[in-house]
Amino acid sequence: MEDEKLLKRITVNPKVMVGKPTIRGLRITVEQVLKSLAGGITYEELIKDYPELESDDIKAALLYASKIVNEEQIFELTASY
């Protein structure tokens, strides 16, 4: 599935999960998916725990996170006294 199509699975609605990015408007946040994967949960276990999730939803969460990190800018702070 192409990136643009995957990213359409990520939704932001101030009335759902306080506006955090969610999967297809469900009450499952991108953050939950990422923390689960980082904690060692497999795709299969995640889908079993959240049957509404699809494999492409997990891919979309990973892609979304990679886009956010890619856009991150680091600025060196220098003291000016």
| Residue ranges covered by each domain of the chain | 3-64
Mean pLDDT rounded to a whole number for the chain: 93
Identify whether the C-beta of residue 25 lies closer than 8 Å to the C-beta of residue 12. no
- The residue whose two tokens read 């494999």 is 55
Please give the Cα distance from 7 to 50 (Å, whole number): 19
Provide the pLDDT for residue 30: 98
Provide the pLDDT for residue 9: 97
Q: Report the CATH architecture of 3-64.
A: Orthogonal Bundle (1.10)
Identify whether the C-beta of residue 36 lies closer than 8 Å to the C-beta of residue 42. no
What is the reported pTM? 0.84
More confident residue, 59 or 78: 59
Provide the pLDDT for residue 63: 97
The answer to whether residue 56 scores a pLDDT higher than 90 is yes
